[in-house]
Amino acid sequence: MARQRVDHLTDQQERIVQCIREWITEHGEAPTVVEIGRAVGLRGRASVHEQLVKIEEKGAIVREPGRARHPARRGASSGNAR
């Protein structure tokens, strides 16, 4: 599958996307906001959430409302049938 164009991500946003990629590879599902924060050094859930919103607006991830573990790389499947 071809990669879709993604608007420029900040270094922090790149770290978050990389964290999500690695977590999905290792665990088969996306990390929680708390797990992302721990992995990239953000203490507040609000800070992580704000970055996730910006990353989604830039097209790097797609989030599923109503799920605690919702970020996914654009064009990627975690392999879970839910």
pLDDT surpassing 60 at residue 75 = no
Overall CATH class of domain 13-73: mainly alpha
pTM reported for the whole predicted model: 0.75
Please tell me the distance from the alpha carbon of residue 70 to that of residue 80, in angstroms, as a whole number: 12
Residue-wise pLDDT for 27-70, tens only, equals 999 999 999 999 999 999 999 999 999 999 999 999 887 776 66
* Arithmetic mean of pLDDT, 4-31: 91
CA distances from 31 to 2, 17, 34, 59, 67 (A): 24, 11, 8, 18, 11
- Any idea where the domains of the chain sit in the sequence? 13-73
Coil vs helix vs strand at 21:
helix
